[in-house]
Amino acid sequence: MRTLLLIAAIVLAFLIVRTLLIRARPRKPSPRPTQRIQSGDVVRCDHCGLHVPESESVRNGDRHYCCEDHRRRALDD
Ligand SMILES: [Zn+2]
């Protein structure tokens, strides 16, 4: 009987903690990875070859980079 009460207490504690965690979590719009890509063309990073949406890419003339760091690295080469 004691074991049963212990299990019930653990389950109850788990449910309470989970409920608190869900409430504490800030509400974010559900992430939709495909939504970003729809907003524009996908370009290829000239340094690492990663494909990124054009709106998020770093441009240098007609070249695109996934981040500022790769733009700088490509210029150093
Ligand atoms: Zn890159």
Cα(35) to centroid(ligand 1), Å = 21
Lowest-pLDDT choice from 14-18, 31-35, 72-76: 31-35
Lowest-pLDDT choice from 13-22, 28-37, 45-54: 28-37
34 domain residue, yes or no: no
Class of residue 77 by CB neighbours under 10 A (exposed 0-12, middle 13-18, buried 19+): exposed
38: phi then psi, degrees, rounded to nearest 5: -65, -25
For residue 56, give its domain range: 2-26+39-76
Q: Rounded CA gap, 1 and 30, in Å?
A: 44
Domain count, the chain: 1
Cα(36) to centroid(ligand 1), Å = 18
63 domain residue, yes or no: yes
* This prediction's pTM: 0.47
DSSP letter, residue 56: G
Instruction: State the pLDDT confidence band at 52, using cuts at 50, 70 and 90.
Output: very high
31 domain residue, yes or no: no
32 domain residue, yes or no: no
33 domain residue, yes or no: no
> Which residues are near ligand 1, the ion (C-beta closer than 5 Å)?
45, 47-48, 50, 66, 70
Instruction: State the pLDDT confidence band at 1, using cuts at 50, 70 and 90.
Output: confident
